[in-house]
Structure 1
Amino acid sequence: MSEPSAPEPPAPAGDPRPDSDDLPPLPGLWAPEPAPLGVEVEPTGHPAVDAALEPLAALDGAPTTEHAAVYENVQQSLSTILTALDDSDGDSNSS
């Protein structure tokens, strides 16, 4: 069985460590809400692809923790569209 650790001695009167209220604010990199970048999703001219890409426009300024799920959904939608295009090309070539 281990012995309990001794409590930390009180800080000396001239302690150079600042109080938490005296600390500078965190840099912008750590801001809880990212600033929008003004990134626009340009239309491709293919209605199904444009519809699949629409959720990307909502990510501008959204917390990065939300990005992965949106990217995965967009990727899945685009894969489905490409598979459908490949299947329809294969059907017309086989006649």
Structure 2
Amino acid sequence: MSDSTPEPSGPQPGPATGAVHDPAAPAPLGLTRTPTGDDGIDLVLERLGDADHLAADGHIEVYEDVHRGLREALDALDTPPGPPAPAPGPHPYNSRS
């Protein structure tokens, strides 16, 4: 550009539509999520779609929420089914004096 023509600043109109393109505006990534077959996991992963409607600085909250949900699902795999085991303690038939 010449010295007499100032550089444009801010969002610029798109070439064909005249719409303003703001690179900082939220934009869907267009990623598809393949179902895992586990309804709980699929529900947690669907939350990733919320990031498509947020500016980049809002993504961390979504990612942390998804990470927390996946961590809880993994932790649940380590928890045995049924009632919790009794706490270890002195056995009434094994008292030592």
TM-score interval for Structure 1 and Structure 2 normalised by the shorter chain: 0.5 to 0.7
Q: How many residues were matched structurally? A: 71
Within 5 A, what are the aligned runs for 1:54-65? 54-65=46-57
Output the aligned Cα RMSD: 2.8
Q: Whose strand fraction is larger, Structure 1's or Structure 2's?
A: 2
Q: Whose helix fraction is larger, Structure 1's or Structure 2's?
A: 1
Deviation at 1:78, TM superposition (A): 0.6
Long gaps (5+) in structure 1:
1-15
How high is the sequence identity, in percent, across the aligned residues? 35
Long gaps (5+) in structure 2:
13-21, 83-97
The DSSP-based 3-state class of the residue aligned with 1:69 is: helix
TM-score (norm 2): 0.58
Matched, 1:24 2:8: yes
Aligned to 1:48: 40
Q: Relative contact order (C-alpha < 8 Å, sep 6+): which is higher?
A: 1
Q: Where has structure 1 moved over 4 Å in runs of 4 or more?
A: none
